[in-house]
Amino acid sequence: MNLLLEALAWLLSPERLEGSDSLPRAVLVHLAYTFAAVAIAAAVAVPAGWAIGHTGRGREIAVGLAGAARAIPSFGLILLLVLLLGVTNKPEAALIAFVLLAIPSILAGAYAGLEAVDRATIDAARAQGMTGWQVLWRVEAPLGLPLLVAGIRSAVLQVVATVTLAAYVNLGGLGFDILQGLQLRRFEQVLGGAIAVAALALLLDAVFALLQRAAAPGHLRRAGRGPASRPLVGAPA
Amino acid sequence: MSWVADNAGLIAALTLEHLRHSVLPIVWGLAVSLPLGWIAHRWRLVRSPLIVATGLLYTLPSLALLPLLPVVFGISALSELNLLLALTIYAVAILVRAVADGFDSVDPDVRRAAVAVGYGPARRFWGVELPLAGPVILAGVRVAAVSTIALATVGILIGVTNLGYLFTNGFQRRIVEEILAGVVAVALVALLVDLLLQLAGRALMPWTRAHTAGAGRAAGALA
């Protein structure tokens, strides 16, 4: 309990607002990497996932990729890419690793969202004379949005966790305080950093839970039976 | 490849440690999740708080969970037990939902039929419900196993040595091969364990074999 109080004192100390490794700055760096990686991953994975969901072709690729990605240790992937691309290209190398880790969840969410759309709805849209593109844009994409947001949610959480690990290569972010504290055996700093990371992850999760709700079509929301809250694609990192 | 050849003994020893650091949390996680998941299935009121609570634990990044656990359990942050507990918690987060879904998937008519032919609660659980929930639970165990094996590597950050050692050591010594060997070894262990779980599932639940083959054909015919 004592350690917990010391950790809170560390977190709330005015020193946390000073210097190049101040807490607000670390949060910003953490968020910048997370959102940049997820945005790039989404630009790749959403069209690919929709193509798979719309045509029904290549689903084995999406499923297989999600499965294989779970077996890749994210910490090792970061260190490998940083070493391969050179320490001078560290931010780029880390970003590539984050993007690679974010793609499978978003791909699975995009594809699963389209696949979950009732076939009768799509047949009805076609019977109205909608073209393939219209079916995709006006029927499948809106109805599949909640599961896509769920996929993005898992990707965000996974990248937040991985950015924390990336502090090992001095990338900045909230993991730095934890790793430095572990090395110096300053456990109040370790715990303080851990609380900050946990708070950030829980906050982002809550924001995306709300977005997911907002993405559900009105009649589903009112009936109180939103689609499956989160597809089991992402792995903890 | 020369680094791998020169250090085959080290890689083998680390792999064994890694297996121990992964298999224990998977087994513990399943042992905790079977009763919890059954409770979540049986009592609707408990279900959503339980799923939400485990979902929130799953949300926590590993590097945040590892320092938080010692505060709760009074153990050292830099201990093997801390890593094992953290991995167990992540496994439980995946498995509770899989177990609850598994029991949900048992046809109520089958359950009623078991009651009708005189199965008591215990025999019904072990002889009817658990085997029929098996395929869904196994799917969850496979997900939990693979992610546990990949995640166990973070142990090196709290001084627990397993295949994650190859990452930090390789990075410090600038040996690309060493890190690559670590990544490949982790992925191979994960795929191997996944394969073993699949084979165990086929041996323990022979009816799923015919079922999945039939489903595969049906899906193929539709596509």
pLDDT reported for residue A148: 93
pLDDT reported for residue B223: 33
8 A C-beta contact, residue B177 and residue B170? yes
pLDDT reported for residue A211: 92
Q: What is the pLDDT of residues B180-190, one digit of tens each?
A: 999 999 999 99
pLDDT reported for residue B215: 46
Contact A3 B59 (CB under 8 A): no
**Cα end-to-end distance, chain A, whole Å:** 27
Contact B56 A202 (CB under 8 A): yes
Mean of per-residue pLDDT scores for chain A? 86
CA distance A41 to A162: 15
pLDDT reported for residue A231: 47
Cβ neighbour number for residue B160 with a 10 Å cutoff: 22
Count how many pairs of residues, chain A against chain B, have C-beta atoms within 8 Å. 152
Contact B167 A73 (CB under 8 A): yes
pLDDT higher than 80, residue B166:
yes
Quick one: average pLDDT of A151-156? 94
pLDDT higher than 70, residue A167:
yes
Option in B170, B174, B190 nearest A71 (CB) = B190
pLDDT reported for residue A235: 60
Quick one: average pLDDT of A132-141? 87
- Of residues B222 and A88, more confidently modeled: A88
Q: Which residues of B touch A197 (CB under 8 A)?
A: 61, 63-64
Quick one: average pLDDT of A132-161? 90
Distances (CA, A) of B12 to B15, B18, B147, B176, B195: 5, 10, 21, 19, 20
Quick one: average pLDDT of A35-54? 93
pLDDT higher than 80, residue B212:
no
pLDDT reported for residue B218: 40
Quick one: average pLDDT of A43-60? 88
pTM score above 0.80: yes
- Distance between A77 CA and the closest CA of chain B, angstroms: 7
Q: What is the pLDDT of residues B93-152, one digit of tens each?
A: 999 999 999 999 999 999 999 999 999 889 999 999 999 999 999 999 999 999 999 999
pLDDT reported for residue B200: 93
Percent with pLDDT over 90 in chain A: 43
pLDDT reported for residue B149: 96
Lowest pLDDT segment from A33-37, B63-67, B87-91, B193-197: B63-67
- The complex's ipTM works out to 0.85
| Mutation site for A-interface testing, chosen from B14, B54, B63, B162 by largest number of A Cβ within 10 Å | B63
Q: What is the pLDDT of residues B23-78, one digit of tens each?
A: 999 999 999 999 999 999 988 888 889 988 988 888 999 998 998 888 888 888 88
Nearest CA in chain A to B66: A194
Q: What is the pLDDT of residues A179-235, one digit of tens each?
A: 999 888 888 899 999 999 999 999 999 999 999 988 887 655 554 444 444 444 556
Nearest CA in chain A to B61: A161
Among candidate residues A59, A31, A24, the one with its CA nearest the CA of residue A156: A31
pLDDT higher than 60, residue A63:
yes
pLDDT reported for residue A216: 82
CA B179 to chain centre: 24
Contact A4 B56 (CB under 8 A): no
DSSP assignment of B118-144 equals T--HHHHIIIIIHHHHHHHHHHHHHHH
Contact B150 A72 (CB under 8 A): yes
CA distance B222 to B158: 51
Using alpha carbons only, give the angle B141, B142, B144 rounded to the nearest 5 degrees.
60
